[in-house]
Chain A
Amino acid sequence: MPRARGLMRNSRKTECGAKQFLSGLVVRVASLALTCLISLAGVVGVIIAQSSTERSVWDAVYTADQAKRGEMLYANNCASCHGSALGGGESAPPLAGGEFFANWNGLTLGDLFDRIRVSMPADRPGKLGREQNADVLAFMLSVNQFPSGKAELEHQSEVLKQIRFEAEKPRK
C-alpha cells in the first residue's frame, strides 16, 4: 500500500518534529529546538498548502529542473510507446494535446500520478519510484505548456489529488 506509506511518512515527520520540539524546550538545547522549529514550520507550511483546494496545474506546480530530469526518464521509459514528442503510438494514447486533456480534464494530478504509478511503464509497472514519476509528470506538464515555478511537484498522491487538472486556464 504505497499510498498508506506516503501518509505514514508524513505523520511520522510531524510526530518526530513535535516530540523533538518538546524535548528541546525541556533540556534547552537551543540549536536542536531551532532546527525542529524550522522543520515543524516547514511541515505546517506544507499542510497549509495542502489544505488549499484552489490549486490547479496553472499554478506553477513544478520546476523547470524537475521537468528536465523527467525528460530523461521519459525518453528511457515512456517514449518507446508514447513517442518522443508525446504524440502517442499505435495504441498508446498521446500524453499531450486534445485527447490527453480530454482524458484528464476535471480530474486531479493525483489521479494521473497514480495511473502512471500503477500501470506504467507497461513493460515493468512500478519500475519508477514516486520521485521519478513526479519528475516524469513535471516533464509532461512542461510539454503541455503549463507554467513552471519555484517548488517541485510533490510525490505524495494525497497532495497531488489537491491539484486539479484543468485543460483551460481558469479565469481569475
Chain B
Amino acid sequence: MQEDATRRRNVLLRGQLAAMLFMTALGYAQQPSTKNGEWPHYTADLKGTKYSPLAQINASNFNKLEVAWRFKTDNLGTRPEYKLEGTPIMVRGVLYTTAGTRRSVVALDPKTGELIWVYSLREGQRAAIAPRQLSGRGLSYWTDGQGDDRVIFVTTGYRLVSLNAHTGQLISGFGKNGMVDLKEGMVTGTGQQIDLETGEAGLHSTPLVVKDVVIVGSSFKEGMTVVTHNNTKGLVRAFDVRTGKMLWTFNTIPRPGEFGNETWGNNSWATNGNTGVWTQMTVDDDLGLVYLPVESPTSDFYGGERPGDNLFGESLVCVDLKTGQRKWHFQIVHHPIWDYDLSSAPILADINVDGKAIKAVALPSKESYLYVFDRITGKPVWPIEERPVPQSDVPGEKTSLTQPFPSKPPAYGRNFLKIPDDLIDFTPELRAQAKDAVARYKTGPMFLPPVVGDSNMLGALNLGNASGGTNWPGAGYDPETHIVYAQAHQSALFPVSLRTPPPGFSDIHYVMGRNDTDFRVSEGPGFGSAADAPQPKRAPVRAAATPAAPAAAPAGGLTVQGLSIVKPPYGVISAIDLDRGDLKWQVPYGETPDAVRNNPALKGMNIPNTGQPGSVGLVVTKTLVILGDSQVTTTPSHPRGAMLRAYDKATGKEVGAVYMPAPQSGSPMTYMLDGKQYIVVAVSGGAYSGEYIAYSLPPEE
C-alpha cells in the first residue's frame, strides 16, 4: 500500500515535472531571449547589443562551417532583389524574416530553411511610390506567454501589420482587419493630412516591440534635389500591441508650445518636413525609457529655409515608454546640413567609470564617434565640447557656430580628410596625383559646409557624412566585458556642391548640383524598386536626350590610377572599452580589394591589408566578432567570392573565414536549436540576387 502510494505520487510528480518541462520547452514559462539560444529582436535584444552568449562556433572550428541551408528570395515579388538587408529573428523554434521586392514575411524551419508560411500584401501604387522600398531590415515578435504569438512588420506602403506567428494569418482584432494605416496622422505644413495612397511616408526598419507596446518610426525620400522643403513631417508613434490602438505620438518637429519649437526660426517648423526616425530604436524596459535616433530635416544639404538649430533634427531623444513625453535629448549636429542622420541603434550599456556604475547609452555614428550618455539623465559620461566650426557662404544659409565633439572615446574611424596626411602615399607619384585630384575641392576639418559649385569649385569634401563611419547596420556590445565592437567605413568621401534649381522645380533655394552643368535629379537608393513599381513601358529607342554633364570627378569617384585618393585602411573594426573610454584594438576590416592588390601602379610593392570600404553589421558571441566582406575578391587563397569572417574578441585577430557567394548585405544573426548553433546572413549584390544563408558545423563537430 505504502509502496503503491509512493509510486503514484512519483508518477504524479514526474507528470508535473514533464508538464513543467514541456511548458519550458515551449518557452511559455519565459520570455524569448538570447539566453535560450534565440535571437528574438533585430538587434538580438531590446538594448541593441547584437550579442549572443553562444560559444559552440568558436575560433577553433569557424573554418569548418558549412552551409546548412539557403533561402533564395527571387520569387517573393515581381523581380529579384539585389539589396537584401534583412536580419531574421529566431523565436521558439521558428525563424521569421522579410524578403523580396514585395517585402513578404516568411516563417522558416531554422534547421532546414523549409518554408512554413508566407505572407504578403499587394499594395499597388502605394508601394510603388514608397520612399523606402525592397524587403527592409526585418520584423518583430510579440507573445502574451499564453499562446497568443504574433509577428509584426511594416509594409512597403507604410502599414503596420500583425500576423499570427503560427499561421501567418492576419490578427483580426488588430487595427482594421489586422493592420493599422500608418499614413493616417502623417502631415505636412501645420497639420495637413497626407494622401493615403500617394503621400510620402514609409519605413524599412523593424517596429520596436516592448511589453505590450509597439513603437514605429517614419522615413521619407532622400533629400538631394528635393521638390519642396515642406514635405511630410517625421514622428514616432506607439500602439497597443494587442489592438493597434494608438497610445502616443512624439513630434520630432515640435509644434508651438512643445519643447524646441523656437529652434525653428521664422516659424519654419510649419514649412519643413522630414526629421524622421528611419533606423532602429532601443528601449530600457526596466526604466521605461525609449531612445530615438532622429535624422535630418529637409533638405539634407541646405538649411536656408529653416534657420536655427532645428530640434530634434539629428538628435538622440529619450522619451517615456508610457507617455512618449521627452525626458532628455542631445543634438549631435546643430542645424544639420551634412546628412549625418543618426544612423544606428543606440546601445544600452551598464558600465563602470572610475568606480561608478552608470546606466549608459552609447550611440555609434557616421562621424565614427561613439557618443556616450547617462541614459537616465542624458548627461555625457565624458565631456562633449562645443567647438567652433567652418561657416557657410551659401546665400541664405546660416550654419551653427559650434558643433559637439566628444572628448572620449576617441573617434574609431577617420572622420575628415586631412591634407596631405590622409591622402594615398604608396608612392610619391600617387600622393602628388591625389593632391591634384582634390585641388578643386574645399577641404578642411569636420563640418565643412556645402558650397555653391562651379567648374573651379567642385564641392566641399567631407568624409564620413552620408555613407561613412557606422551606418544603418549599427554596432554591437558585450554586456559582460563592457566593450563595443564597431565597424567603420573610413574612406567615404562625399563632396557636396549646391546650385539653384531650374525655375519651377522646387521651392527650396539650393539643391545638389553645380551651376556650370545641366541640372540632374538625384534620387535616393532603392526608390521605385518595389514589386509594384511600374512595369516596362519602353522608352523610345534612341530617344533624343541632352548630353550628360561633363564628369564632375574622375570616373569611379575621387581616384588616382584606379585607387581611392584616401590612404588605407579603407575600413576598420574597433573594440571600444566603455569603462575606460578608449580603444582596445583596431584592425583593418576584411581584406585588400582586388583593384588594389592587382593594381599595376603598385606592382612589386608589399601592400599590407588595406581593409575594405562599406558599412556592415556584425554579431558578437561569447568569443567572436563575426561579420562579412562588403566586396567580392578573388585571391590565391580563395575563389571568387566574399568571406564571412570571425575575429577574436580579445585581440581583433582574424581567426577564421568561410566562403559567401556574394557580399554581406544584411547584418548576421545567430541561434542555437537542438544542440546546434547556426549563423544566418543575407547576401546579395552584383550579379547575385538576395539569399539568406545559414551556416553550422558539420555533424562530427
Residues of chain A at the chain B interface (Cβ within 8 Å): 69, 71-77, 79-81, 83-107, 111-112, 114-115, 118-119, 121-129, 131-132, 143-144, 167-168
Say whether A97 contacts B467, CB under 8 Å: no
Whether, in the assembled complex, B552 has its beta carbon less than 8 Å from a beta carbon of chain A, the answer is yes
Q: A75-B520, A112-B687, A144-B555 are in contact. Are A129 and B546 (CB under 8 A)?
A: no
One of A84, A87, A98, A125 near B562 (C-beta < 8 A): A98
B420 in the interface (beta carbon within 8 A): no
Binds A, one of B312-320, B377-385, B534-542, B576-584: B534-542
Of listed A87, A119, A126, residue having the most chain B CB within 10 A: A87
Given contacts A75-B520, A103-B686, contact A96 B556 (CB under 8 A): yes
**Chain B positions 533 through 563: 1 when the CB is less than 8 Å from some CB of chain A, otherwise 0:** 1111111011101111101111111110011
B276: min CB distance to chain A, Å: 16
Shortest CB-to-CB span from A163 to chain B, Å, is 14
Contact A85 B557 (CB under 8 A): yes
Whether A98 and B593, one on each chain, are in contact in the complex, defined by CB atoms closer than 8 angstroms, is yes
A161 to B685 Cα, complex, angstroms:
18
A125 → B minimal CB distance (Å): 6
- What is the CA–CA distance of A118 and B518 in the complex, to the nearest angstrom? 29
User: Does B574 count as interface, using CB distance less than 8 angstroms?
Assistant: no
Contact A87 B525 (CB under 8 A): no
Q: Give Cα A31–Cα B596 distance, bound, in whole angstroms.
A: 58
Interface size on B, residues (CB 8 A): 61
Known contacts A101-B595, A103-B632, A119-B529; can you find 7 more A-B pairs with CB under 8 A? Answer: A79-B548, A83-B557, A87-B558, A88-B557, A98-B593, A119-B82, A122-B526
B555 touching A72, Cβ below 8 Å = no
Of A89, A92, A128, A167, which one neighbours B598 at CB under 8 angstroms?
A167
Contacting pair A91 B467 (CB below 8 A):
yes
A84 close to B549 (CB less than 8 A): yes
**When chains A and B are docked, how far (Å) is the Cα of A106 from the Cα of B527?**
29
Interface hub of B222, B545, B548, B613 (most chain A Cβ within 10 A):
B548
Q: A87-B555, A94-B557, A102-B593 are in contact. Are A72 and B687 (CB under 8 A)?
A: no
> A85-B557, A87-B556, A118-B80 known; A125 and B533 CB under 8 Å?
yes
User: How far is the CB of A32 from the nearest CB of chain B, in Å?
Assistant: 29
Q: Is B522 an interface residue (CB 8 A)?
A: yes
Taking the closest CB of chain A, its distance from the CB of B638, in whole angstroms, is 12
Q: A76–B544 Cα gap in the complex (Å)?
A: 10
Nearest 5 A-B pairs (CB), nearest first? A97-B556, A98-B595, A123-B528, A126-B536, A75-B548
Point out the residues of chain B lying under 8 angstroms from A83, CB to CB. Answer: 552, 557
The answer to whether A100 touches B556, judged by C-beta atoms less than 8 angstroms apart, is: yes
Query: Do A72 and B546 touch across chains, with their CB atoms under 8 A apart?
Result: yes
For this complex, 12 residue pairs linking A to B, each with C-beta atoms less than 8 Å apart, are A72-B543, A89-B525, A97-B562, A97-B595, A98-B564, A99-B556, A105-B634, A105-B640, A115-B686, A119-B529, A128-B538, A131-B541
Q: How far is the CB of A14 from chain B (nearest CB, A)?
A: 24
Query: Does residue B386 face the partner (Cβ distance < 8 Å to A)?
Result: no
Query: Chain B residues near A105 (CB, 8 Å)?
Result: 594, 632, 634, 640
A167, B548: Cβ atoms under 8 Å? Answer: no
Assess whether A119 is in contact with B595, with CB atoms less than 8 Å apart: no
Q: Is B435 located at the chain interface by the 8 A CB criterion?
A: no
* Assembly CA distance A17 to B520 (angstroms): 47
Report Cα–Cα, A48/B523, bound state, in Å.
Answer: 43
Contact status of A81 and B557, CB under 8 A, knowing A75-B548, A111-B687: no
Cα(A118)–Cα(B543), bound, Å: 21
Q: Does B445 contact A (CB under 8 A)?
A: no
Contact across chains for A89 and B632 when beta carbons are under 8 A apart: no
Contact across chains for B522 and A81 when beta carbons are under 8 A apart: yes
With a cutoff of 8 Å between Cβ atoms, the chain A residues found around residue B552 in the complex are 83-85
The closest CB in chain A to the CB of B555 belongs to: A96
Residue B444 interfacial (CB < 8 Å): no
For residue B524, which residues in chain A have a CB less than 8 angstroms away from its CB? 81, 89-90
- B493's nearest neighbour on chain A, judged by CB, is A87
Give chain B nearest CB distance to A84 CB in angstroms: 5
